[in-house]
Amino acid sequence: MTWDPDVYLKFGGERTRAAADLLARVPLGAPARIVDLGCGPGNSTALIASRYANANVLGVDSDDAMLAQAHAANVNARFEVGDFETWAPRDAPDLIYSNAALHWAADPLAVATRLFQALAPGGVLALQVPLNFDKPSHVEMRAAAQDGPWSAKLAGIFQPLLLSGEDYARALAPLGAKLDVWSTAYLHVLECADPVLKWISGSALRPYFARLNAEERASFEASLAVRLRRAYPPENDGRTHFPFHRLFVVAVQSK
């Protein structure tokens, strides 16, 4: 699956809000080694490098286009290709930070557990994952995929697991983690045409687009746009309200 950083960053401010909220709850004063795992185009890495200007910051992502964008942003960090499913640090980090990435793992709890165990003593695993997989944006996306001449091509696409805070707590607490777990529902007020379609085009729709040719993609998008306009009708002022739910986990390793 390939990513388009320009499409992803169309709502960069809204997407970065959750990254900043996660970073604000990291209880570290001066970590020496930090990893931004699933760093994407580097917007979250820039926040980390700004807060911890003296740290050795490494951004890791599996997508070359995203990493190219991150390099171009001139963030005070290093970047390398890596898949969080298998990636392991060479030296134990003080902070492993992962914003809107681990839900793409086949087993996010196993990945989170492995990452937590890789921390330096007193280190922190901070992660955020979307919780919108059962909301109309994603329900209509799956329904549109099944309702059209493209249905055979779009069968069996990976669907992220909808995990709760309790699931992460049960995985990490037995390892001695001191936990700070919460969820937030952001109300994004979007102003462009078909904003929810454009939003998920930068993330959740990428696996669907990867299987379709240009003509099929256009037809699929048109069908989905109708569904999303019905699910998220514009307000009287023309703007669209898009509630987006996210889960946050901050786990501190014992010293």
Judge whether 56 and 37 are in contact, CB under 8 Å. Answer: no
What is the residue type of 216? Answer: E
Answer whether 0.85 is exceeded by the pTM: yes
Q: Please report the pLDDT score of residue 66 as a whole number.
A: 84
Alpha helices in the chain (DSSP H): 5-8, 12-24, 43-51, 64-72, 108-117, 136-146, 165-172, 195-201, 206-209, 214-231
Nearest Cα residue to 100 out of 251, 252, 247: 247
Q: Please report the pLDDT score of residue 13 as a whole number.
A: 61
Q: Please report the pLDDT score of residue 6 as a whole number.
A: 43
Q: Please report the pLDDT score of residue 243 as a whole number.
A: 95
- Which residues lie across from 126 on neighbouring strands? 97, 250
Classify 213 as helix, strand or coil.
coil
Q: Please report the pLDDT score of residue 10 as a whole number.
A: 45
Q: Please report the pLDDT score of residue 173 as a whole number.
A: 98
Judge whether 20 and 41 are in contact, CB under 8 Å. Answer: no
Q: How far is CA 91 from CA 33, 56, 58, 179, 205, in A?
A: 8, 11, 12, 23, 35
Q: Please report the pLDDT score of residue 15 as a whole number.
A: 67
Residue spans of the chain under pLDDT 70: 1-15
Judge whether 31 and 94 are in contact, CB under 8 Å. Answer: yes
Q: How far is CA 148 from CA 79, 142, 210, 221, 231, in A?
A: 41, 11, 17, 11, 19
